[in-house]
Amino acid sequence: MRTSSSPSRLLSGCRRTLSSSSRGRFSVKIRAETTSSESATTSSSQEDGSAVVSKNLEVMRKFSEQYAKRSGTYFCMDKSVTAVVIQGLAEHKDELGAPLCPCRHYDDKALEAEQGFWNCPCVPMRERKECHCMLFLTEDNDFAGDEQTITTEELDEFTEGMK
């Protein structure tokens, strides 16, 4: 499936969607395997919850890398697209308890997260390898890069102004 929109156009749509959020809590769909050093870092978290967000960012980074490898897909050649989508998934995981797709508009995010259809990986991705966010791209996609990894430093670099 060829993509006709540019990565930057889709990225701006993601950023618009990420700026509006609703609050709610549901059970976590993706669990992190934590080491004792990660637990120590989390237990010394700041009052403002930034440690939770950064922990969720790392959880979603690891998940994205593992899923790309497992599904045979690749990240976008423009790593800022990958970084913004992972940041949005981490924010939704923090707010909603589930990694709801950050590139769609929802009338009720909490309800959508509970129903699970758009939780990453969404049903279209699992069934047909169609990722609206351009996070997981098949080799034949014009915007597919050749990497299945993204570093913490790259995430920080591309999402600096969003935090």
Which residue ranges make up each domain of the chain? Answer: 7-162
Please state, in angstroms and rounded to a whole number, the distance separating the CA atoms of residues 42 and 10.
33
Mark the ranges of the chain whose per-residue pLDDT is less than 70: 1-53, 163
Q: What pLDDT shows up at residue 68?
A: 98
Q: DSSP labels for 57-105? A: HHHHHHHHHHHHHHHT-B-BSSHHHHHHHHHHHHHHHHHHSS-B-TTS-
Q: What pLDDT shows up at residue 52?
A: 52
For 99-125, b/e burial (b = at least 16 CB within 10 A) is: bbbbbeebeebbebbbeeebbbbbeeb
Q: What pLDDT shows up at residue 161?
A: 76
Structural domain 7-162, CATH architecture: Alpha-Beta Complex (3.90)
Tens-digit pLDDT profile for residues 12-38: 444 444 433 333 333 233 433 333 334
From the list 51, 46, 115, 57, the residue with the least C-alpha distance to 88 is 57
Q: Give the catalytic positions in this structure.
A: 103
Q: What pLDDT shows up at residue 160?
A: 86
Instruction: Tell me the two tokens of residue 134.
Output: 């351009």
